[in-house]
A and B are shown apart, each in its own frame.
Chain A
Amino acid sequence: MVKSAYSFATKKEKIENHIIVVWVDNESGVLARVVGLFSGRGYNIDSLAVAEVDKKKNISRITISTSGTPQVLEQIKLQLGKLIPVHKVANFPANKKTLLREMALIKIVSAKTQLVKAKKLCKKYKYTVIDSTKKSYVFEVSALKKDIDQLLKKLQPLGLASVSRTGVVAMTKGSETFK
Chain B
Amino acid sequence: MTGAEIVFKVLEDQNVRHIFGYPGGAVLPIYDELKNHKKIQHILVRHEQGAGHAAEGYARSSGKPGVLLVTSGPGATNAVTALTDAYMDSIPLVCITGQVPTHLIGTDAFQECDTTGITRPCTKHNWLVKDVNKLSSIMHKAFEVATTGRPGPVLVDIPKDIQFAKGKYIKPKEKNNGNVNIKFNSNDNDINSVLELIKKSSKPIFYTGGGVINSGPKATEFLRELVSLTGFPITSTLQGLGAYPGNDPQFLGMLGMHGTYEANNAMHDCDLMINIGARFDDRITGKIDEFSPKSKKIHIDIDPSSINKNVKVDLAVVGDVKIVLEKVVSAIKKKDPNFANSNKQNIAAWWDLIETWRKKNSLGYKNSNEVIKPQFAVQRLYELTKAQDTFITTEVGQHQMWAAQHYKFNKPNRWMTSGGLGTMGYGLPAAIGVQVANPDKLVIDIAGEASVLMTMQEMSTATQYNLPIKIFILNNQWMGMVRQWQELLHEQNYSESYTAALPDFVKLAEAYGCVGIRANKPAELDSKIAEMLAVNKPVIFDCVVDKVENCYPMIPSGKPHNQMLLGSQDEEEKISDEGKVLV
Chain A interfacial positions (CB closer than 8 Å to B)? 1-8, 10-11, 28-29, 32-33, 36, 40, 71, 74-75, 78-79, 81-84, 86
Of A7, A10, A40, most buried by chain B (CB within 10 Å of CB) is A7
Q: How far is the CA of A7 from the CA of B286 in the complex (A)?
A: 9
Are B309 and A40 interface neighbours, CB within 8 A? Answer: no
Are A82 and B179 interface neighbours, CB within 8 A? Answer: yes
Would you give the shortest CB distance from B303 to chain A, in whole angstroms? 7
Nearest chain A residue, comparing its CB with the CB of B580? A3
Are A6 and B583 interface neighbours, CB within 8 A? Answer: yes
Secondary structure of the A contact surface, majority rule: loop
From B78-86, B115-123, B205-213, B413-421, give the one contacting chain A: B115-123
A-B contact count (CB 8 A): 60
Given contact pairs A29-B128, A75-B305, a sample of 15 additional A-B residue pairs in the complex whose CB atoms are under 8 Å apart = A2-B581, A3-B489, A3-B490, A4-B582, A6-B582, A7-B287, A7-B558, A7-B583, A8-B581, A29-B116, A29-B126, A82-B124, A82-B149, A84-B124, A84-B145
Are B308 and A71 interface neighbours, CB within 8 A? Answer: yes
Q: Which residues of B contact A1 (CB under 8 A)?
A: 581
Q: How far is the CA of A6 from the CA of B283 in the complex (A)?
A: 10
Q: Tell me, yes or no, whether B304 is within 8 Å of chain A by CB.
A: yes
Q: Tell me, yes or no, whether B13 is within 8 Å of chain A by CB.
A: no
Are B581 and A74 interface neighbours, CB within 8 A? Answer: no
Are A36 and B121 interface neighbours, CB within 8 A? Answer: yes
Q: Which residues of A contact B121 (CB under 8 A)?
A: 36, 40
Question: With A6-B282, A84-B180 in contact, is A78–B289 under 8 Å at CB?
Answer: no
Which of these, B125, B305, B308, B583, contacts A4 with CB under 8 Å? B583
Nearest chain A residue, comparing its CB with the CB of B485? A5
Of A32, A78, A79, most buried by chain B (CB within 10 Å of CB) is A78
Would you give the shortest CB distance from A78 to chain B, in whole angstroms? 4
Are A5 and B583 interface neighbours, CB within 8 A? Answer: yes
Nearest chain B residue, comparing its CB with the CB of A37? B121
Q: Tell me, yes or no, whether B288 is within 8 Å of chain A by CB.
A: yes
Q: Which residues of A contact B489 (CB under 8 A)?
A: 3
Q: How far is the CA of A73 from the CA of B489 in the complex (A)?
A: 35
Secondary structure of the B contact surface, majority rule: mixed
A–B pairs, 12, beta carbons within 8 Å: A3-B490, A4-B581, A6-B583, A10-B289, A29-B120, A32-B117, A36-B120, A40-B121, A71-B308, A75-B309, A84-B125, A84-B179
Nearest chain B residue, comparing its CB with the CB of A71? B308
Q: How far is the CA of A36 from the CA of B125 in the complex (A)?
A: 13
Question: With A84-B124, A84-B180 in contact, is A7–B304 under 8 Å at CB?
Answer: no
Q: Which residues of B contact A74 (CB under 8 A)?
A: 308
Are B125 and A83 interface neighbours, CB within 8 A? Answer: yes
Nearest chain B residue, comparing its CB with the CB of A83? B125
Q: How far is the CA of A1 from the CA of B308 in the complex (A)?
A: 30
Of A11, A28, A29, A81, most buried by chain B (CB within 10 Å of CB) is A29
Chain B interfacial positions (CB closer than 8 Å to A)? 116-117, 120-121, 124-126, 128, 145, 149, 179-180, 282, 287-289, 303-305, 307-309, 489-490, 558, 580-583
Q: What are the 5 A-B residue pairs with the smallest beta carbon separation, nearest first?
A: A78-B305, A84-B125, A7-B582, A79-B305, A78-B304
Nearest chain A residue, comparing its CB with the CB of B490? A3
Are A81 and B304 interface neighbours, CB within 8 A? Answer: yes
Q: Which residues of B contact A86 (CB under 8 A)?
A: 179
Would you give the shortest CB distance from B93 to chain A, in whole angstroms? 16
Q: Which residues of A contact B308 (CB under 8 A)?
A: 71, 74-75
Which of these, B124, B145, B289, B303, contacts A11 with CB under 8 Å? B289
Q: Which residues of B contact A75 (CB under 8 A)?
A: 305, 308-309
Q: How far is the CA of A78 from the CA of B316 in the complex (A)?
A: 14
Nearest chain A residue, comparing its CB with the CB of B305? A78
Question: With A6-B583, A8-B581 in contact, is A81–B558 under 8 Å at CB?
Answer: no
Nearest chain B residue, comparing its CB with the CB of A78? B305
Would you give the shortest CB distance from A97 to chain B, in whole angstroms? 24
Which of these, B120, B124, B145, B580, contacts A32 with CB under 8 Å? B120
Nearest chain B residue, comparing its CB with the CB of A40? B121
Q: Which residues of B contact A8 (CB under 8 A)?
A: 581-582
Are B583 and A82 interface neighbours, CB within 8 A? Answer: no
Nearest chain B residue, comparing its CB with the CB of A5? B583
Q: Which residues of A contact B179 (CB under 8 A)?
A: 81-82, 84, 86
Q: How far is the CA of A7 from the CA of B208 in the complex (A)?
A: 24
Nearest chain B residue, comparing its CB with the CB of A1? B581
Would you give the shortest CB distance from B290 to chain A, in whole angstroms? 10
Would you give the shortest CB distance from B158 to chain A, in whole angstroms? 15
Nearest chain B residue, comparing its CB with the CB of A85? B125
Are B303 and A82 interface neighbours, CB within 8 A? Answer: yes
Q: How far is the CA of A10 from the CA of B285 in the complex (A)?
A: 15
